[in-house]
Amino acid sequence: MNLSKAIKVSVVSVGDTAAQTELDTSVVDMQGFEGVMFVAVTGDVTASSVLTLTAKGNTANSTSSPAPVTQKATAAVTAGASDSDNKVLMVDVYKPVMRYIFAALTRTAANAVIGPIIAIQYGAGLKPTTQDATVIASAFGLGVAA
């Protein structure tokens, strides 16, 4: 099986500098896909920072209007002394009830640098999938080079 032909990868946030704010990603349209996994990469996370990655859905292609609904997918961590630096948080939403999905990453109690957040849509109804414009190159190979 060739995974890259069965999924769609998108950079939905380029990340943010050290702060204690909420970071919303771009919205992904789930039409033609069964699920989406959001992967948030951390940078320098201050001890005691609380990070929460939550998937949210909407009936419109918007992060605010109408009011989004949490999709019962949340990953949370309270950082210790540098044990959350350069790690990932993931949330996976299978068969979302709403067509438009995005992730919200909250940072409270102490500063945290956030790297890119990637959306991986899977269970494509039509294959091969077309990658998002944020993917500038991809390759597939068979077997092992001699």
Asked if 13 and 23 count as a contact pair (C-beta separation under 8 A), the reply is: yes
> What percentage of the chain has pLDDT greater than the value 70?
97
- Tell me the pLDDT tens digit for each residue of 76-126: 888 876 789 999 999 999 999 999 999 999 999 999 999 999 999 999 999
The pTM of the full predicted model, rounded to 2 decimals, is 0.92
The pLDDT, as a whole number, for residue 26 is 96
Asked if 48 and 78 count as a contact pair (C-beta separation under 8 A), the reply is: yes
| Beta strand 112-122 pairing with 8-13 | antiparallel
Task: Answer with the residue of higher pLDDT: 71 or 36.
Answer: 36
* pLDDT band of 75, cuts 50, 70, 90: confident
- Tell me the pLDDT tens digit for each residue of 21-38: 999 999 999 999 999 999
Overall CATH class of domain 3-122: mainly beta
Two tokens, residue 137: 């190159």
Question: Where in the chain are the domains?
Answer: 3-122
Angle among Cα 50, 62, 126 to the nearest 5 degrees reads 100
The pLDDT, as a whole number, for residue 141 is 83
| Beta strand 88-94 pairing with 22-24 | unpaired
Q: For residue 93, what are the CA distances in angstroms to 8, 20, 72? A: 15, 25, 8
Two tokens, residue 122: 């899977």
